[in-house]
Structure 1
Amino acid sequence: MFSLQDQQENNQKKETQSNLTNNNFKLFLLLSEMFLLFFLFLWLTSITSTTSLSPTFNDIYCPNNTTFQSNNNTIFKTNLNVLLSSLVTNATLGGADFYSTFMGLGTTNVVNGVFLCRGDVNSTVCQNCVTTAATDITRLCPNKTESIIWFDECMLRYTNRYFSPTSIVPGANLKDDKNITTSKLDTFNGMLLSFLDRLAREASNSQTAKQFATGEDKFNLSISSSSVYGLAQCVPGLTNVQCEECLVNASRTLLTCCEGKQGARALLAWCNIRYDFYKFYNATDDSSSLPPPSSGKNRSGSKTRTVLIVVLVTGSTILFCLGCYFLIRRSAWKKYKTLLKENFGDESAALQSLQYNLTTIEAATKKFSSENKIGRGGFGEVYKGTLIDGRQIAVKKLSQSSGQGGVEFINEVLLIAKLQHRNLVTLIGFCLEDHEKMLIYEYVPNKSLDYFLFDRHKARLLHWFERYKIIEGIAHGIHYLHNHSRLKIIHRDLKPSNVLLDDNMNPKISDFGMARMVALDQDRGSTNRVVGTYGYMSQEYAMHGQFSEKSDVFSFGVIILEIVSSKKNARSLLSDNTDDLLSHAWKQWRDQTPLELVDQDIKESCNHSEVIKCIQIGLLCIQEKPDNRPTMATVVSYLTSPSAELPFPREPTESMHSGILQNVVVGGLSSTSISTFNEITSSVSSAFSASA
């Protein structure tokens, strides 16, 4: 009979053997991929010219009357740094060509920000432009409370005041050096206005959210016709009328500043419009956005023949390499299946029931069509789908930048699949194919809690008994993650948009599988990568990266106060009230008027003793020191026991909007601050909600 020590040694040998096999497999795949990528690189470099990723600077709005003293206004500077970091973060998530948010507290320190990428540029160009703009805007225009920077590829703006969507101020005009023939000037102006007005209507009435349009027209300026190209775009969120009026006003400025020019553009805060005599949009590379060089027929024909020869030779080479590559991958996949069986043993049967092939998921989501896209977050995009058997699903397509291997991914899938609780979103399966990693969840129809909570009209649908049920359900779900799962799971991003509501308005916590998992006997950890949402993070986590069960407890406390009040723990630019929700809740408790915090629509009909108890629990959960916060087990006992005696809360932590982040990024928009806040966002849509 083997001793316990012998058994442990055998297990350790098996694990080491499995790791070696796994490493060999990964090395094999890596070498085959490097082989293919090498030839791809040769092919691409042989047929494309060297392009620069640097965006083309156009202009900057830097008003003299908005200067602030950075030494005397560190709060505004801090909010600005965090705002710019947030804009960069949301651009580098990929796929986003527009994002707006705000940071700060009160009417003097709030700063609103937005970036907008040109509607025809790809995500890489967009990301690079926004990153450059966020750095250059404070370098070229330091210590300003508002500024706008325009590039060919994007626009980035921040301000502490409101700009009218139809105003031509602030704005900038750019013009070409070449002139139109004087005798044709009146004719050209008339045709140009008609052309730009048509573009304005098309952009404002666009069927997509971009409010973007391009077009071409023939202008009869001489014996032959000349093609004129145009582009119009508005910042999403404007009404059709506002967008069209903004673009029409912008086009009229061109007749004043740039009359008779062959190319010009008007750049405003809410829209931009441009025309030129060459096709400057829909470029596949940077060289396409330059005016075509003049060349003779011989030179053009020689260049065409050279390109054709290069394409034929390198194309044949690449096809041969692709054939070899796929043969290698087919053989590798067979070995990979054997490896999974060796690694997971008895779990392989469970994996078969959980695994879906890519063809099935593509059919369910209409090949990940934009109409089926229902959300996007730091971990990837989410699509609604319907399986052949009629079940509705939510497919989370994970970002390929995670660096996680297949075996590690499946290990986490097996763990998440074992987390079964009525207040957690159920994992149906996974897909691991063609470098894609996807998690397949149940589809929850009633969207997320924030969809109801922060809408004045929809909040009235949430009666107090439903709100109390939601609070209890969230508490039970977090308690399960902390204490009853195989591994202690700390969510780290609890917020109303991550709480989904089923047909009966029962809460289901989502994104728990993406959280940091720690060993069962380890209740604390630290990280250099702060993952969370502004307004829901505890002080020790936001400032020092220290997370624990009590980090989730803090977030839960904020959620309770939001459910009671139907108010978000954030500031509005136009509000005269300088308190955030946490400070306001404490003041009402201190002044013995806690019911003043309650949503007015439920104030008369709610159970006052239950409401006061929830406010007290919320204040206990947001205490500054983690040790002073209750555990989720204690919170559950408070909520389920009518006679439970609760301790009296102390004044909670300092405002998240005015104190915590100030100490972290007060040094400016450095690479460290961007790294630290690369996943802090002001609002992230629910990963599995049905929001459009």
Structure 2
Amino acid sequence: MILPFILVLALFDFDNVLLWTHEISLVSHKIWFCDAIDIFYYLNTRLFLLFFYFYCLLPPSTQPQRKNSNSKMATLAKLLSSICVCVIVMLTTKAVEATPTYTATHCTNTTTYAPNSTFQTNLDILLYYFSNNISQSNGYFLGITGFNSVNAVGGLFLCRGDVATTVCNQCLTTAIKEIRQHCPNQTEALIWYDECLVHYTNRYFAVDKIDPRVNLNDGNIVSSVDLGRFNQSLHGLLNDLATEASGSSESKKFAAGEVVVTESMTVYGLMQCTNDLTNSECGTCLKNAIGTIPNGKQGARALLPSCNVRYQLYPFFTSSSPSSSGGMKLGPGTIAVVVVVPIFFLIILFLGCYYFKRRSKKKILLPSIMENFGDEFPTLESLQFNLATLEAATNQFSLANKIGSGGFGEVYKGVLLDSRQIAVKKLSKTSGQGTIEFKNEIVLIAKLQHRNLVTLYGFCSEEQEKMLVYEYVLNKSLDYFLFDPHKERVLSWRERYNIIGGIARGIHYLHDQSRLKVIHRDLKPSNILLDKNMNPKISDFGMAKMIDIDEHQGNTKRIAGTYGYMSSEYAMHGHYSEKSDVFSFGVIIIEIISAKRNALSLHSLDFDDLLSYAWKNWRDEKSLEILDSNIEKSYSYIEVIRCIQIGLLCVQQNPDDRPTMERIVSYLSNVSVELPLPQEPGGFMGNRTNQIPRDNISDQRNNSNTTGSSVNDITMNNSFPR
């Protein structure tokens, strides 16, 4: 156990480090730097030491004369991993972790946001994305959350154009953490460091304004003897830098330079704009900033939200020109060796680490991925969301964002960085049933597109979590408006008729118009979502089945569905077809018209269910007896009568007697088409002999208050996502 520690100490014996360090003193400021050649030479030496020490430490089982190749490979994998760790330690230990230099903060102090408010949620999301995009940002990032709302939060971060990536990353990490401590609950805040800037606001950026700003001036004044030449040189330098920065075609609008005033005085200047500004806007911002700088000071800064200007009488930025410092001169051959050799070894180390890490990761992930998706996975990769994105969108899946629950798990509302509202269906880790639904919904919905089907944005399968990401649907589900005693309003007949037509078109698409023939198998009002215009969206394809285009039915031993919506042939024998969906649709029609449920308890002895009640009234020419009393004064007699008759046609006992969805759509769209007479309805709850033993029905447990719902039923306590 002690050998690795001895090894590390030996490797980092800095008394013998072959690294030349140069010290340059500039007006009491010291700049330390290393030649690239020297660094490579140092790495070369240390890499050879690494291989030597690790070879000496290898156990006998890994020596070349041994024939156990599996043991060798296992030990080699551990060896390469250890080497990678030590190389990283070696490199990072030599790096000096420079603490960012705090400059100033500006807080609006006029408006604040309340804790746990929507604004705070949007700000949390924005700063979270800032943190996650530092390493890929190239020193700049602009984003907005809650777009087009009163709680929108816009923001950006910007690193100084000359700082190294590591310095930029550390500065931004510090600034993102500190900004809210400096400006608690402020709706706008800016924090400046020497190396970076972070800014968020609840209003649009205005590049032509000089406020909010911070001016910092050196207390020392240039002597009157040199003042004239100083002012002339300074103004010339600032104008030149402003022209260079605003005219830059590079991604960074940055310029730095110097001008000699006298033999003992040199002025150093720096300017930068945020990347979102046009060249003209950058020039305007810099002109405004220069206008706030006083005369005669030995140093000054103007810090604006979209640009900044600084000058000093000492160098404070990194020069892009080659170093003129002296040192040990190396010949071309030596340079080639000290550069190429360490690069070669680093490549070998990287490839080795990558190979073994990838191999290990595949052992963990591939069985799970292939088990869930099989050959479908390559076509679904573009729909993947990472877990961090969904955690940020849902405020870490907070209780306040929870909008539904069921036997499968829970549903959360979220907002993506592009302001899309989503609903995240998070499957329970212990729900084997949920895993089947997870695969089914992704494979099916990803291939289906129709205005009356819910839109699937994607999925997440990460860290044992399985989630489906849908568009957010504002107006909950149909069963809320039909059956909830606390519903906010009553659906008009016109809305009900449009909902019936929309559901019919959606099912018709599944059966006849998509490139797949899909049998939903769990159609019911709780699986019909309503958007802001009360257009229906068919959801929950966890129980759906695909059949060949030229086939019309399938069989299953796993009967899953919802009591009151299953046809007798499916409930009794497991025969599902387009006509079993037609039966469910007929039940939905009768429920929409009557605002009463058809679902009964499994062992109910009440034969007079909703379908029988509707049939008896139609047979006795009293069809309107089933009409919801809330709309008795505002309905179309012809439309109501036709819909009742269509519903009864759909729930007939014999599947062959039921119309196809294509025929139903034509019935609804053309009132002149004559309807056939329906036969007495059939359903698995229709009489005592048709009751189904419990062991023939798949587990129907759920968390909802609805009697007899399917395993994937959802209890809504808020709007459900789209």
Give me the TM-score of the superposition, normalised by structure 2.
0.45
Structure number with bigger Rg = 2
Give me the TM-score of the superposition, normalised by structure 1.
0.47
Q: Which has the higher contact order (CA 8 A, sep 6+)?
A: 1
